[in-house]
């Protein structure tokens, strides 16, 4: 089979990814073989490929096939798999497997398992024609969801859902979302479904316009302190942060009312937390397997959508180096920006349904495509203010 293989850690411009013919994997007990139809591309892939996380043991080995937002069709079952069938349309998120026995697994928060395996980082991922998945962590796709629409639900979708659940929103409450991008725009949609009043904080005009189309009240962080702007409307009951910046976290804390909740889905420092106001800071990583099912159901009902531009697999021969899609994110490192809108010159299409649907632009290549972002929720990186994680779908047609 064809696969995009990471053979060495180096700058994307030097071609660390190679298209190769590799052996098709065989599923073991409790596993399934998936013919990959689409795989989301996360900005965290670039961090891993270029060695930014090598000191933390990521990737765990080389060579490895990246890609952690995978959808496709089951073609073979391993021994003991009886809840899935050949021909099922399925998806796999970053959480490839967990031990199933630790305190986190048995209490339903298996994303906190300390011996978990991560798709595309500790085991081969979805930048290939076939991938093995753990049956217990493989999710059935609703029939109405196209593969390219489903793929980004398996990282930005579940990440957004988990953060909104931790914010404890109810009708009439106010929530501010800091960082409107691959994850953030899905957070806006999910927060709106709770009946809460949603505020979107960003410096980018295009992001603020999109937030308004999604039904949120825009707060322009480039024209003043967003915390002060939110305090003028009485503050918010919860803040959700997907902008990898200490300064943004400080803004979120100050914008949140006493007794409120600040949900953080990225790595950032906390400079000051006034204890007497009894504010609660909560980290958020992905979500549970049950929540993943709920995300898919919401998308199937047309209530949320991370709409992406599909791109066909390149047809170059074995040994070809191909990294144009990831290269498109590299110039932003020099410019100091973490724009959520990708670097292609495409126009911004309108949402199909204001408050529920969003189309975004993506830079493209004939093999893979990428949304520039600060990093995925599993390995959030530092970045400029109001930058945030992103994702899109790449369709294999081989």
pLDDT tens digits, residue range 13-28? 888 999 999 999 999 9
Phi, psi of 274 (to 5 degrees): -70, 105
Q: What is the pLDDT along the chain (398 residues), one digit of tens a residue?
A: 999 999 999 998 888 999 999 999 999 999 999 999 999 888 788 889 999 889 888 899 999 999 999 999 999 999 999 999 999 999 999 999 999 999 999 999 999 999 999 999 999 999 999 999 999 999 999 999 999 899 999 999 999 999 999 999 999 999 999 998 888 999 999 999 999 999 999 988 888 888 988 899 999 998 899 999 999 999 999 999 998 889 999 999 999 999 999 999 988 888 889 899 899 999 999 999 999 999 999 999 999 988 566 666 554 444 445 554 455 444 444 333 332 222 222 223 333 333 333 333 222 222 333 333 333 444 444 333 444 444 444 444 44
The structure tokens listed for 227 are 């915390």
CA-derived radius of gyration, the chain: 20
> Which candidate, 387, 359, 150, places its Cα nearest to that of 265?
387
What is the Cα–Cα distance from 180 to 208, expressed in whole angstroms? 8
The residue behind tokens 């942060």 is 241
The residue behind tokens 């060495």 is 8
pLDDT tens digits, residue range 191-246? 999 999 999 999 888 888 889 888 999 999 988 999 999 999 999 999 999 988 89
What is the Cα–Cα distance from 10 to 16, expressed in whole angstroms? 6
Half-sphere exposure of 91 toward its Cβ, with a 13 Å CA cutoff? 30
Domains, the chain: 2-157+287-395 (3.90.180.10), 166-282 (3.40.50.720)
For the chain, give the mean pLDDT: 81
* CB-CB neighbours of 382 under 10 Å: 15
The residue behind tokens 């109405």 is 144
What is the Cα–Cα distance from 185 to 178, expressed in whole angstroms? 10
Half-sphere exposure of 96 toward its Cβ, with a 13 Å CA cutoff? 21
Can you list the alpha helix ranges (DSSP code H) found in 277-365? 289-300, 324-327, 331-335
pTM value is 0.82
């Amino acid at each position: 089979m064809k696969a995009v293989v990471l053979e060495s850690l180096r700058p994307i411009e030097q071609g660390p990814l190679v298209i190769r013919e590799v052996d098709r994997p065989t599923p073991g007990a409790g596993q399934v073989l998936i013919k990959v139809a689409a795989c989301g591309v996360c900005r965290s892939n670039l961090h891993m490929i270029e060695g930014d996380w090598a000191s933390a043991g990521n990737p765990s080995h080389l060579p490895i096939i990246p890609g952690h937002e995978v959808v496709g069709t089951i073609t073979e079952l391993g021994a003991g798999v009886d809840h899935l069938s050949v021909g099922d349309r399925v998806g796999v998120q970053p959480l490839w497997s967990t031990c199933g026995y630790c305190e986190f697994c048995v209490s339903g928060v298996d994303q906190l398992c300390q011996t978990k395996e991560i798709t595309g980082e500790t085991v081969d991922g979805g930048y290939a024609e076939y991938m093995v998945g753990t049956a217990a962590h493989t999710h059935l796709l609703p029939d109405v969801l196209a593969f390219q629409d489903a793929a980004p639900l398996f990282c930005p979708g579940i990440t957004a859902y988990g953060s909104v659940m931790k914010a404890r929103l109810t009708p009439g409450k106010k929530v501010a979302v800091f960082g409107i991008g691959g994850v953030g725009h899905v957070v806006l949609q999910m927060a709106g479904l709770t009946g809460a009043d949603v505020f979107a904080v960003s410096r980018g005009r295009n992001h603020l316009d999109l937030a308004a189309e999604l039904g949120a009240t825009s707060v322009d962080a480039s024209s003043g302190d967003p915390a002060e702007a939110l305090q003028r409307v009485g503050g918010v009951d919860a803040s959700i942060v997907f902008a990898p910046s200490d300064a943004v976290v400080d803004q979120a804390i100050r914008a949140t009312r006493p007794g409120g909740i600040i949900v953080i889905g990225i790595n950032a420092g906390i400079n000051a937390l006034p204890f007497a106001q009894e504010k609660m800071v909560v980290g958020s990583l992905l979500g549970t397997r049950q929540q993943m099912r709920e995300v898919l159901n919401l998308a199937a009902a047309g209530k949320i959508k991370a709409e992406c531009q599909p791109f066909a697999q390149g047809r170059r021969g074995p040994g070809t180096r191909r990294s144009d899609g990831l290269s498109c994110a590299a110039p932003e490192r020099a410019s100091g920006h973490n724009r959520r809108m990708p670097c292609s010159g495409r126009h911004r299409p309108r949402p199909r349904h204001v408050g529920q649907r969003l189309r975004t632009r993506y830079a493209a290549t004939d093999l893979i495509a990428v949304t520039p972002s600060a990093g995925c929720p599993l390995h959030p990186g530092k970045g400029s203010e109001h930058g945030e994680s992103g994702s899109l779908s790449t369709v294999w047609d081989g």
